[in-house]
Chains A and B, each alone.
Chain A
Amino acid sequence: MEIETITDAFDTRVDDALSWIGDNGEWLFDAIRAVLEGTFDGILWLLQLAPFYVVAVLMGLLAWRVINTTAGVLTAAGLVACAMMGLWAETMSTLALVATATVLALAVGIPIGIVAGFSQSLDRFLEPLLDLIQTLPPYIYLLPTIALMGYGPATALAATFIVAMPPAIRLTSLGIRMTPSVFIELGQASGMTSWQMFTKIRLPFALPSIMAGVNQSLMMAFGMVVIAGIVGSGGLGETIYGAVRTLDIATSINAAIAIVIVTMVLDRLTQNAARNVKAGVQ
């Protein structure tokens, strides 16, 4: 069969190429892994610094400030429920993974989005690329990352970073471009420097859109982090992966409930934060 000779040749090539990259680019991937794992460990250390009830109360207070009293009480109760199900450590490491990947994705995505908001040609170049990233099933981003960085949280973080970046770029560039032209003219008329124009007019108008991007990035990151349990990311994703494979129904229900709680808390918090920002602008 000729197809098999093709695929075999392809597989050997891939293995050769990967081992070549592994030999020659090891320092690069080690550096990336060190940065990713360093940030992750730092955030995880912060989250585990306080006992669970302190974190739950703090999150509850945050939800109370950002949304309302009911949401604050529900947030605190939900997080306490995670702890009572014996999943506190897993919940915190999931949160740390999401936070790390989202922060890195925003740190890269928002500047790119701002540049793309000003430069039409960069935007036209990025558009099909972002389309492609968002069309593909997120699961497959684990393949190249596991091949280059091996088993562990760094792989999960790299794949999550890829998935979480597109919404941040898109909505930032959209926000920059949507500045009402009346205000730009106002700025020009009052003799603003271009830096003042950017910080005082464009950025405040873009902020609601950027916040929507933060919310979407966060949600994409959350979905991916849970999937990344298969590459040994740790956290709730790995708990579920293990429980599903062994058909341990009780544990998988508990972990699923914990995931739903954390997702809802993060989503509502960022959505309402975005809404507050929008209300502040108008």
Chain B
Amino acid sequence: MNPETLMFSPGSYLAPGVDWLNANFHPFFSAITRFIELVLGAIEGVLLYPPFYVVMLVAAGVAALLAGWRLAIVALASLGFCLLAGLWTASMQTLALVTVSVALSVTIAFPLGILASRYRKLETALRPILDIMQTVPPWVYLIPAVMIFSLGRVPAIIATIVYGVPPMLRLTTLAFKQVPRDLMELGHAIGAPPRAILLKIEIPSATPTLLVGLNQCILLSLAMVVLAGLVGAGGLGAEVTRGLTRMEMGLGLRAGLAIVAVAILLDRLSKGALQGRSVAGARPGSR
């Protein structure tokens, strides 16, 4: 029994398929590319056009509104660090990448999660797919994205979206299943239309769990965006990759610490939003 005689390579059958996709669906993929580049460019513009202190002040203001002045100091310190590390542009590029991919992940996962919480069949169909998606190492997601969208920022975003969807979807389903039955019955009893039940009862009462999902989605997306520096996504990931491959340890270390700063900022902001809410009372009944 010799493996050489039984050699088979699914890749060499799939590769022409990928070529065929690229040849025949080129307009479709390039439309996606243009859409993502446009959104990304706009967000990058918003973050990079104003001088750094404006961005820092706005971030601190948002943090203060969400969870008080302590978080505002965290925001100022972490962005200040990115600035002092000489990586302001790269940090803003990374933030823009994370923002776009999280926004798109949530757009996909949120409705799907609500549907999965309503229809048991959809949930049982999704579960094994989500299991596989969460087991597979993130690297694997970059491969199909790179095959279709080549190198650059767009495959990075696509891979990040795919990677960010499962945790958000899971926690959305969980959040909507946890809505207290009495509140739902109250809604039905007063004859509220389904839209009002969704907006006024289900979403407010699901918010804490939804924010946990958002926090996970953001952190996983950041990890993926950084990893995507390997396929030319730019931002801090590209700086880390440059540091690693050219042995420029000073640069690598600065970029690594800037990633730490961005991770802490994003983590605390999304957790701060959660705590701010649970203090205010997320249950609509308590208002």
> Interface of A with B (CB < 8 Å)?
3-4, 6-7, 10-15, 18, 51-53, 83-86, 88, 135-140, 142-144, 146-147, 219, 222-223, 226-227, 229-231, 237, 240-241, 244, 247, 249-254, 256-257, 259-260, 263-264, 267
User: Do A137 and B259 have beta carbons less than 8 Å apart?
Assistant: yes
CB distance from A210 to the nearest CB of B (A): 20
Q: Are A259 and B18 in contact (CB under 8 A)?
A: no
Of the listed residues A12, A247, A250, A259, the one surrounded by the most CB atoms of chain B closer than 10 A to its CB is A250
B contact residues vs A (CB 8 Å cutoff)? 1, 3-4, 6-12, 14-15, 18, 83-86, 132, 135-140, 142-143, 146-147, 150, 219, 222-223, 226-227, 229-231, 237, 240-241, 243-245, 247-254, 256, 259-260, 263-264, 267
State whether A249 touches B147 (Cβ < 8 A).
yes
With A6-B86, A256-B143: A230-B14 Cβ-Cβ less than 8 Å: no
Least distance between B55 CB and chain A CB atoms (Å): 15
Cβ of B260 to closest chain A Cβ, rounded Å? 6
**Are A230 and B245 in contact, with the CB atoms below 8 A?**
yes
Q: Inside 8 A of A267's CB, which chain B residues have their CB? A: 135
Hey, which chain B residues are within 8 Å of A18, CB to CB?
A: 249
Q: Using CB atoms, name the residue of chain A closest to B237.
A: A139
Give the Cβ gap from B153 to chain A, nearest Cβ, in Å: 15
B198 to chain A, nearest CB (A): 33
> Which residues of A are found within 8 Å of B250, using beta-carbon distances?
7, 10-15
A250→B85 contact, CB < 8 A: no
Quick check: A84 and B6 within 8 Å, CB to CB?
yes
Q: In the complex the two chains form, is A86's CB within 8 Å of B11's CB? A: no
- Give CA–CA (A244, B18) in the complex, Å: 14
B38 to A: closest C-beta gap in Å: 25
- Docked complex Cα distance between A12 and B140 (Å): 36
Q: Beyond A14-B249, A84-B6: 14 further Cβ-contacts under 8 Å?
A: A84-B8, A86-B4, A86-B9, A88-B3, A135-B219, A139-B223, A142-B244, A226-B140, A230-B230, A247-B147, A252-B147, A253-B11, A259-B139, A260-B136
Please name all residues of chain A whose beta carbon is closer than 8 Å to the beta carbon of B9 when the two chains form the complex.
Answer: 85-86, 250, 254
A23 to B123, CA, bound (A): 58
The interface residues of chain B lying within 8 Å CB-to-CB of A227 are: 137-139, 227
User: B137 contacts A253, CB within 8 Å?
Assistant: no
Distance to closest chain B CB from A226 (angstroms): 4
Q: Is the CB of A136 within 8 A of B7?
A: no
Task: List residues of chain B with CB within 8 A of the CB of A147.
Answer: 249, 252-253
Q: Is the CB of B140 within 8 A of A260?
A: yes
Contact of B140 with A256 in the complex, beta carbons under 8 Å = yes
How close is B92's CB to chain A, nearest CB, in angstroms?
15
**Shortest distance between the CB of A207 and any CB in chain B (Å):** 23
Instruction: State in angstroms the CA–CA spacing of A224 and B258 once bound together.
Output: 21
Would you call the interface of chain A mostly helix, strand, loop, or mixed? helix
| Cβ A4 vs Cβ B86 within 8 A | yes
- Classify the interface of chain B: helix, strand, loop or mixed: helix
Asked whether A85 and B237 contact (CB < 8 A) given A137-B223, A250-B15, A256-B143, the answer is no
Inter-chain CA distance A229–B222, complex, in Å, is 20
> Contacts of A144 on B, CB cut-off 8 Å?
253
* A259 to B135 Cα, complex, angstroms: 11
What are 24 of the A-B contact pairs (CB < 8 Å)? A3-B84, A6-B86, A11-B251, A15-B249, A53-B1, A84-B8, A137-B226, A137-B259, A139-B227, A140-B259, A143-B249, A146-B244, A147-B253, A219-B135, A226-B137, A227-B139, A237-B139, A249-B15, A253-B143, A254-B10, A256-B140, A259-B140, A260-B132, A263-B135
Q: Which residues of B contact A143 (CB under 8 A)?
A: 240, 243-244, 249, 252-253, 256
- Tell me, in angstroms, the Cα distance from A257 to B15 when the chains sit together: 13
Q: Tell me whether A85 and B10 are in contact (CB under 8 A).
A: yes
For residue A230, which residues in chain B have a CB less than 8 angstroms away from its CB? Answer: 230, 241, 244-245
Once A140-B259, A147-B249 are accepted as A-B contacts, the answer to whether A84 and B3 lie under 8 Å apart by CB is yes
Known A15-B250, A143-B240; contact A136-B135, beta-carbon cutoff 8 A: no
Q: Which 7 A-B pairs have the closest CB atoms?
A: A11-B250, A250-B11, A253-B11, A137-B223, A7-B86, A223-B137, A14-B250
Q: Give the contacting residue for B231; candidates A139, A140, A244; CB below 8 A.
A: A244
A84 CA / B1 CA spacing, docked (Å): 11
B139 and A240 within 8 A (CB): yes
Docked CA distance A83–B136 (Å): 20
Which residue on chain B has the smallest CB distance to residue A249?
B15
Say whether B139 contacts A257, CB under 8 Å. no
Q: Which of B136, B252, B263 contacts A137 (CB 8 A)?
A: B263
Asked if A259 contacts B137 (CB within 8 A), the reply is yes
The answer to whether A139 and B135 touch across the interface, beta carbons within 8 angstroms, is no
State in angstroms the CA–CA spacing of A259 and B9 once bound together: 14
With A83-B3, A146-B244, A244-B143 known to touch, is A140 a contact of B86 (CB < 8 Å)?
A: no
